[in-house]
Structure 1
Amino acid sequence: MTPVRIFISSVQGEFTGERERVRDYLRGDPLMRRFFEVFLFEEVPASDQRPDRVYLEEVERCDIYVGLFGQDYGSENAEGVSPTEREFDCATELEKHRLIFVKGAQEDGRHPKMRSLIARAQAGLVRRRFATPPELVAGLYAALVQYLEAKEMLRFGPFDAAQCSGATLDDLDVEGMYRFIRTARRARQFSLPEETPPPDLLRHLNLLNRGRLTNAAVLLFGRAPQRFLLSSEIKCAHFHGTEVAKPIPSYQVYKGTVFALVDQAVDFVLGKIALSVGTRAESVQVPVAYEIPKEVVTEAVVNAVAHRDYTDNSSVQVMLFADRLEVMNSGRLPPPLTVEKLRLPHQSLPGNPLLAESMYLLQYIERMGTGTVDMIRRCAEAGLPEPEFDVGAGFVARIWRARRTTQSTTRRSRSARKQPENNQKTTRKQPEKDDSNQKLADRVLALLRRNPSASRREIAATLGITESTVRYRLDKLRKAGKIERVGPDKGGHWKVLGDSASDPAPEPNLESPQ
């Protein structure tokens, strides 16, 4: 962040002590020195320049002009104007942010031209009087805090409710906003009709701040949110071992809205952990079970995206190791939550409440504070160790993986050894190919259940396959009676069939075209 430059003006000599006191305070205060850079004329090194040219150039460069008006008027030039008045006039002409401080309450003894300058300044802006250096410092401090608040450099509310600098309605995905309404109506009985104009949706969700787009609006519906919020991406990495080590076998940086980020990161993990596929013995649906329950992976990623500190330059990191999954973000636990309380039902205290509300409407999260409790329960049901939660430089959710050597794996290995030698290649590879096809089919169906309006391009980007492959597989699923298209290709949506049907649909042939 570029510091805000402050130019402190005064008659030479009269305010030497006050100027130095203000400079030392602003440079020493932890808050002020983070935002402001002070200029004093006395600190300019010797150079072959006229003094009046130097201080006027500094006024032009500054962001804030601080005028200290006292008893003296100062030396006058040929036109009878002092440096103080010339600086004030320059700052006024350039429309700089001006803060005027007048020493003393009595006008007796004040130079007539200084009285005239004070009266002129008083007519156009608010000025403060002071008697001692501490009063000057206190008054300037209060004025600078107001400046930071007005510029939204200091926030007294959540980050997601602050204005997103430079963002306009043209930077939002209008079709994505209509899809949001349709999905929210199905998922949560959202009250707005499907044809609601985007500005009305933004107002309804409190995504406008004094008529300007908020950070939440851009994160939820932006065409390219990372253009405005660089660190809002997710970095995913897969390591074969148990430590971070190069080379990294698989590494992806995902960008997009918070919904796209969650979907892509979850699919990254699910595509690299073990998946067991059952039979239709007890249901028309083929049961599938991931090594780490999908709900646990999703909850960890959603928590990181929804509750992270977006003012921090670090991104959410999803790292899959041989023995665990770690999801890290820069957020903190808000008081009174502690790591111990996460293991019990607790109050929901979202760090970004506007994001959380919209993610709730699309069923990405609940609002009951049960997310971490559900993670612990589901891991126990899957026979996994209890997840761990750490708070240090940020927040880490650590989910342990299942052991690689399982009874079913051992049985498959023994069965493979009994096959004739000339058939071993076929008996090993064909099930893997069938499992891969079925796994991709299940992922396509799961994506369409979550986002029925997903386009072929969105499906391809989410699953990491080509659009031609998506077209082929959608056609196979449609012919097999798994899905149907409702409405036109553009503007319609997919409907997944068989979820509540009594007759099982035939298994689709999902092998890729040769």
Structure 2
Amino acid sequence: MSPDQITTWAAAGESEILEFKRSTGQRREAARTLCAMLNHRGGRLLFGVEPDGRMAGQQVSERTLEEIAQELREIDPPVFPSVERVDVGGGREVLVVSVSAGHSQPYAYRGQAWRRVGATNQSMSRDEYNRVLLERLHADVRWENQAATGWSVKDLDQEEVRRTLDEGIRIGRIEDPGTREPEAILRGLGLLEDGSLLRAAVVLFGRGDRLLPDFTQCLLRVARFRGTEKGEFLDNRQFRSHAFELFRQAQRFILDHMPIAGRFEPGRMERIDEPAYSPLAFREAIANAICHRDYATGGSSIGVAMYDDRLEVTSSGTLHFGFTPEALFEPHESRPWNPLIASVFYRRGIIETWGQGTIKMARWAEEASLPKPEILEIPGAVVVRFRRRATEEALQKTTGKTTGKTTGKTHDAVLALLAAEPSLTIPEIAQRIGKGSRATERIIRTLREAAKLERIGPAKGGYWKVLE
């Protein structure tokens, strides 16, 4: 390394990955900075450079190097940074100490963990320390992959287990094991280990009457509020059940309460419906809440709240692995917090491509001429917020759009409705979507001809299966 490189760094000034120290007399402060950089994305510390970037250098002896090494041994877990000596003339040197982002985060210096914020160091709170530690251990030790003590296959909704297998086989995401025994199915899904059910199996299939007192977090809270603030309830319910039933109930509640604007276009006899929210988008948000929430906190839940101007889906926990709300709307790697639960939802066909859900939500909202969804972090939870069109004038802007697009929105609403309630009859579907029975029959016929919907069983006692 040449003095020119030191000059270039010094001219750039201090940042989250670069800090200057006048001499190794400041080695304690330097070790704190290196600890913070290890907990961030790495960086360099230069001994012998003034805070203003002036390259002064210092005399370096073997004892100098030993003192630095001694101080760095106070960082735990142990680290082995690179130390380079750069001659800057006049018998003086600059020491460059470099670290990469640590693989054993969180790191602590003299018992305190630090994090890098801009060009400063801030102490980690206990909650943040625990979060970083959980993320490091995540591959091997998670809440979902621990044994569900006291639980057996008879405590699960075995029909839901079989439905998951049948649907996974139908869409090509599960190979037919040649058996419909729940225990064998669970083993194939990775939910049974050494003869013991995992907690993920309980979340996915646990019977509602068996969940208390062990699994209080398998809870969905839904509410329709009057106005735009939490206050007066128009509807307020709670559901305690396995993930698939909560998934259905959340969609059913939204579809029951979601306003649908109707309008007519010249030359058309049928009314054109505009749902207040994209059914595909809020379906994805509910699935994400189930797959990515924090189940470790007893009493936590998933929430669906509808106001006059917005819909919010809330899940307990926080964003992990450095994700920010903004980054989730850009291409990103999939890092599900509960990979076992997410894997079963994927095999069931509920989620499509890991890492694309939030991007799809934004696209579906745009296609429906709705505002882009928002993702917010609040204490103890993550919120996905869908807003309605700001004004009726904005709604009218869709008037000139093609019939195919508006018809597609109605078809999407029917598919979302039947995904949540597959046993609905034609009259019940018509009532939900605000159309006549004949118009509804035409929609159903179109969806069946397009291989998007299939009828299983007889007219009485059968059910609808959404194929796409």
* Superposition TM-score, scaled by structure 1 size: 0.50
Letter of the 1:347 partner, please give it: E
Partner of 2:243: 258
Structure 1: distance between partners of 2:164 and 2:460: 16
Deviation at 1:357, TM superposition (A): 0.4
Counterparts of 1:290 and 1:322, CA distance in 2 = 14
Structure 1 residue aligned with 2:288: 303
Instruction: Report how many aligned residue pairs link the two structures.
Output: 304
- Does the 8 Å contact 1:178/1:195 carry over to 2? no
Deviations 1:411-448 (A, max 9, x none): x9xxxxxxxxxxxxxxxxxxxxxxxxxx9x99776554
Q: Distance in 1 between matches of 2:275 and 2:178?
A: 35
Q: Secondary structure at the match of 1:161?
A: coil
Partner of 2:300: 314
Cα distance in 1 for residues equivalent to 2:357 and 2:454 = 33
CA contact (8 A) 1:181 1:193 kept: no
RMSD: 4.4
AA matched with 2:389:
A
1:294 aligns with 2:279: yes
Report matched runs for 1:326-345 at 5 Å: 326-345=312-331
Partner of 1:384: 370
**Contact kept in structure 1, 2:305 and 2:311, CA below 8 Å:** yes
Task: Report SS of the residue matched to 2:375.
Answer: strand
SS at match of 2:314: strand
- The answer to whether the 8 Å contact 1:350/1:356 transfers is yes
1: CA distance, partners of 2:334 / 2:272 = 32
How far does residue 155 in structure 1 lie from its aligned partner after superposition?
11
Aligned-residue offset at 1:264: 1.2
The CA distance in 2 between the partners of 1:244 and 1:251, in whole Å, is 12
Distance 2:295 2:361 in 1: 24
Name the SS for the 2:217 alignment partner: helix
2:349 is aligned with 1:363: yes
What displacement does 1:494 show? 4.3
Tell me, yes or no, if structure 1 residue 239 matches structure 2 residue 221: no
Higher share in strand: 2
Which residue type is aligned with residue 391 of structure 1? E
Q: Deviations over 1:210-248 (max 9, x none)?
A: 311111111212222633311211101111211111x31
Give 3-state SS (helix, strand or coil) of 1:182's partner. helix
Shift of 1:489: 8.9
Q: Alignment partner of 1:203: what SS?
A: helix
How many Å apart are 1:490 and its aligned residue?
A: 11
The answer (yes or no) to whether the contact 2:190–2:340 under 8 Å persists in 1 is yes
Equivalent-residue separation in structure 1 for 2:320 and 2:287 (angstroms): 17
Q: 1:399 aligns with which of 375, 382, 386?
A: 386
> Could you give the per-residue CA deviations for residues 79-103 of structure 1, whole angstroms, max 9, x where no partner exists?
xxxxxxxxxxxxxxxxxxxxxxxxx
Gaps of 5+ in 1: 1-153, 413-438, 466-472, 501-514
- Whichever structure has more helix as a proportion of its residues is 1
Cα distance in structure 1, aligned partners of 2:159 and 2:233:
37
Contact 2:187 2:193 in 1 (8 A): no
Counterpart of 2:204, as a letter, is L
Other-structure match for 1:183: 167
Tell me: higher relative CO, structure 1 or 2? Use CA pairs within 8 A at least 6 residues apart. Answer: 2
Q: CA deviation at 1:195?
A: 3.6
Give the greater-gyration-radius structure (CA): 1
1:207: how far off?
0.2
Query: What amino acid maps onto 1:160 in structure 2?
Result: E
Following TM superposition, by how much is the alpha carbon of 1:292 offset from its aligned partner in structure 2, in angstroms? Answer: 1.2
> Residue 281 and residue 181 in structure 1: after superposition, are their counterparts in 2 closer, same or farther (change >3 A)?
farther
Query: 1:378 Cα shift?
Result: 2.3
Superposed, 1:37-186 pairs within 5 Å as 157-186=141-170
1-side partners of 2:216 and 2:229: how far apart?
27
Closer, same or farther: CA 491–186 of 1 in aligned 2, 3 Å: farther
Distance across 1 between alignment mates of 2:148 and 2:459: 34
CA distance in 1, matches of 2:248, 2:191: 23
Superposed displacement of residue 318, structure 1: 1.2
- Stretches of structure 2 lacking an aligned partner (at least 5 in a row): 1-137, 400-409, 432-436
Measure, in 2, the Cα distance between the counterparts of 1:188 and 1:397. 30
Alignment of 1:10-21 (within 5 A): none
Q: CA offset at residue 344 of structure 1?
A: 0.4
